[in-house]
Amino acid sequence: MKKLFSMLRVVTLVSLILTPIFAGNVIEAKPSINKVYRSSKISDSYHFLLLDGSKFYYVNTNKTDKLTPNEIKSPNILDLLKSKQSWGQAFSSRGEYISKNGKLFTKRYLDRIKVISPQKIKYLNKIFILQ
């Protein structure tokens, strides 16, 4: 019995020595480029996110539940939304994002764009799912 416990200690010690102490960098999944991600309905509005090259486009609106990549990229996105529905509100934002240590951040405010999977992104504490 003593031999079994001492053997178990040796095996445990060896496994602890061979196990890395610090985890390495975890590379996030790659996002789908030029595809529209949409959040679930939050307070009667939807949030849309599109990543294109090194740019991102973000739209918050209660005027529609579906947008195309060309609509989001349009400089007249607010006019397009007004033509879809005259009442309601819309907010549009765009900017650049950077990759740092395998993670994505907005260039201006360094907000994290966490890629959970190619179909799911977390940005500004909202989960976006590929449309």
DSSP 36-62: EEEEPPBTTBEEEEEEETTEEEEEEES
Per-residue model confidence (pLDDT) at position 3: 74
CA distance 122 to 130: 11
Q: What CATH number does domain 25-130 carry, 2.40.128.50, 3.40.50.2300, 3.40.47.10, 1.10.3720.10?
A: 2.40.128.50
Is residue 103 classed as helix, strand or coil in its secondary structure? strand
Is residue 34 classed as helix, strand or coil in its secondary structure? coil
Q: Indicate the helix (H) or strand (E) that contains 121.
A: strand 120-123
Distances (CA, A) of 24 to 27, 101, 117: 9, 11, 19
pTM (two decimals): 0.79
Per-residue model confidence (pLDDT) at position 16: 63
Walk along the chain (131 residues) in steps of 10 and give the mean pLDDT of each run.
73 68 65 96 95 95 95 94 91 95 92 95 96 89
Per-residue model confidence (pLDDT) at position 64: 93
